Structure 1
Amino acid sequence: MLVQSKTIMPLNRFLPLVLSLGVVLYLYFSVSERAAIATGLGVALGISLYHAAFGFTSAWRRFLTDRWGAGLKAQIIMLAVVVTLFFPVLESGEIFGHRVGGFVNPAGIGVAVGAFIFGIGMQLAGGCASGTLFTIGGGSIRMVVTLFTFMLGSVIATINLPFWRSLPQLDRLSMVTLWGWELALALHFFVFLGLYLLVRKVEKKELISESDNLRQLPFSVRMTQGPWPLVLGGVSLALLNFIMLISLGHPWGVTSGITLWGGKLVTFFGADLSGIPYWKGSMSALDRSLFRSDSSATNIGIIAGAMSAAFLAGKFGKSQNMTVKGILTALIGGLMLGYGARLAYGCNIGAFFSGVASGSLHGWLWLVTALAGNFIGVGLRKKINF
């Protein structure tokens, strides 16, 4: 074993990463190239999410409660990078001879209600969709509970989808298609600049800078053990989302994979989903490998990547909240996350991040109503002293 120091780690810390890469190679040769790409990108996303501690939930909560703006500013930069990469490619509809398409969905009452419910669930559960996955990879048992009810909530929502889809909604609207990528990009940058300046004006100045202790860490240590600068985390997520677009033909999404896991779980216990419209076109997916779904494979990769990062940092399983209150909020929050995400065509990733990246109006509607839900969720956390 190597001598442990500030820059040299024991070899066993690399074991989860080696195993994760081994699984990716196995998938490439034994399952499909597509499964390997989706899982490999998930591993990279998991590492980025964990090392940057890039949580949408905590960033929004800390801004609402403490006026800490660094997390929101990193998200704004992330969005600026991703639309710059996405918009020209989406307008052409192809890259390197491969067809590509964004997540463009109707904006309506279902999206607004779903995002609002999801926003409350974020604060009760203590994580969003991507946050649930990467904290599970970091060894959080409580978030396993959240994931379980997330799956159930999303399956329950599939039963009610015909009602929510029947409510008033706008047609699918892509601002890239409507205005062209140049004008759409310029308008998005104008909005991002306004949001960035607003956050800077509102935030508490003494909370802007990173800790001096973090800045003094060697670069190699921060890259392998964390924490990464938030902006680096946001830019890496934007780049990986773009790589997914050009390699798999679509942006990053989380919810459909979790819904698939929930469908497999309830059918294992005897439920019949064949009569539900949502499942009629995808019953075969319930019988196939989890790695045959891009979203499912990526989600598995995120957990594996976050676990690899947690081991590299020597922090696996260090943070737990297994109180009765913690478990109850995980159960309720997870149900709200799953139900809300399914109504809103996705979560903070598929509906918001990739929705905005696709120039879809529903991504912006998701943001506004999810922030309102977060505001309520933060108030509920205070009331129950969580």
Structure 2
Amino acid sequence: MLFGFGMVLVGGCVVGTLYKMAVGRLPSLVAFAGLLAGSALYAEIHPWWTDLARRGHLASTVTLPQILGLPLLPLLAPLVVVAGFWLLRWARQGLLHQESYAEGHLQPWKAALLLALLSFASTLVIGMPMGVTTAYAKLAGMLENLIVPGHVANLAFFAAEPLNFIHPLWGLPLKGGPGPHLDGIALAQFPLIAGILCGAALSALRLGEWRFYARVPIKQCLWAFVGGTLMGFAARMAPACNVWHLMGGLPILAGQSLLFVAGLFPGAWLGSVVLRRYVIC
């Protein structure tokens, strides 16, 4: 809920913040600073939250099929059939193609297909879905380490190494965590962040639309920072962002991802209420 709330205030998710920042939007740059601040803030309450999460543990298994003791296919098949029916119906009605007069516009179904292929490639090459928020925590830890290195060294969050597995295809070990050092997380997520920034900037330059949007109301920037802080904080509580859960966990019906999506909608609704009343009023 916190993530959805913050996402609406920012006007984009953790990836949307990156590509909007890359084309010169000041609120997105402020939101990015908030994402780092929220990640650093979570590090302070990590032991408490971990204990609370352990108390609320629902099952020792990961996915809904494992929890129910059923194979994945019978649970996914009805969803695939319903989605396929509506896609076919929209295609016959011509609704998959949306008119746009913006240069460089990409049809939504093509964008969805490309994102699916990218997610598949990430899982195949790296061994896990795409994600960026642990790298945000890393950046926050690196910056904090420049100011108070002793404090960072004493925080359990930055000492943790939750990523530790052998790639099933390549047999290579991949280890890492949110600590302020280069590891497997840095290898997987820093290039993705750099690619999103460069791709967005190059696209805007090619279309002649890159410019720094500095004339933005202070109120909008302040709320963007609040939204970014909430997203960074919530992404560590979840513990992942919408990209990871929607494109990585939801297709295999992961319990965490199903709960994340369930909270995302009411959080986004609450964020829209605050946005209308206090931000764009």
Structure 1 unpaired stretches of 5+: 1-115, 215-224
Q: 1:136 aligns to what? A: 21
More moved, 337-346 vs 167-176: 167-176
Q: Show the counterpart of 1:125.
A: 10
Taking the aligned partners of 1:181 and 1:131, their CA distance within structure 2 comes to 31
Letter in 2 for 1:343: M
Matched, 1:380 2:267: no
Q: Do 1:274 and 1:280's aligned partners in 2 also have CA atoms closer than 8 Å?
A: yes
Of residues 301, 304, 319, the one that matches 2:195 is 301
- The whole-number CA distance in structure 1 between the counterparts of 2:276 and 2:155 is 39
Give the 5 Å matches for 1:80-95: none
User: Between the two proteins, what is the percent identity of the paired residues?
Assistant: 23
Tell me the secondary structure at the aligned position of residue 47 of structure 2: helix
Specify the alignment match of 1:189 in structure 2.
Answer: 80
Contact 1:155 1:263 in 2 (8 A): yes
Contact 2:39–2:232 (Cα < 8 Å) also in 1: yes
Shift in alpha-carbon separation, 1:294–1:187, aligned structure 2, 3 A: same
Q: Does 1:232 align with 2:110?
A: yes
- Secondary structure of the residue aligned to 1:322 is coil
The Cα RMSD (Å) is 2.9
Q: Mind listing any 5+ residue stretches in structure 2 that lack a counterpart?
A: 162-176
Residue equivalent to 1:277 = 156
Name the SS for the 1:327 alignment partner: helix
Q: After TM superposition, give the deviation of residue 319 of structure 1 in Å.
A: 5.4
Displacement of 1:241: 0.7
Q: Which moved more, 1:253-262 or 1:152-161?
A: 152-161
Give CA deviations for 1:100-135 in whole Å, capped at 9, x if unaligned: xxxxxxxxxxxxxxxx01111011111111111111
C-alpha separation between the residues in 1 aligned to 2:249 and 2:233?
18
Instruction: Tell whether 2:63 aligns with 1:174.
Output: yes
Whole-angstrom CA distance in 1 between matches of 2:211 and 2:3: 26
Letter of the 1:241 counterpart: S
Normalized per residue, which structure has more helix? 1
- Which secondary structure state, in structure 1, belongs to the residue aligned with residue 202 of structure 2? helix
Hey, what's the Cα distance between the residues in 1 that align with 2:210 and 2:183? 28
Taking structure 2 as the reference length, what is the TM-score of the superposition?
A: 0.79
User: What letter corresponds to residue 359 of structure 1 in structure 2?
Assistant: L
TM-score, normalization by structure 1: 0.59
1:322 lines up with 2:213 in the alignment = no
Contact persistence 1:142–1:321 (CA under 8 A): no
Q: Is the 2:65–2:253 contact (alpha carbons within 8 Å) kept by the matching residues of 1?
A: yes
Compared with structure 1, are the counterparts of its residues 182 and 317 closer, same or farther at alpha carbon in structure 2 (3 Å cutoff)? same
**Alpha-carbon distance in structure 1 between the residues aligned to 2:38 and 2:10:** 13
Contact conserved, 2:219 with 2:279, CA < 8 A, in 1? no
| Aligned-partner residue type, residue 236 of structure 1 | L
What is the letter of the counterpart of residue 120 of structure 1?
F
Cα shift readout 1:243-283 (whole Å, capped 9, x = no counterpart): 01101111111111111111111111224222222211358
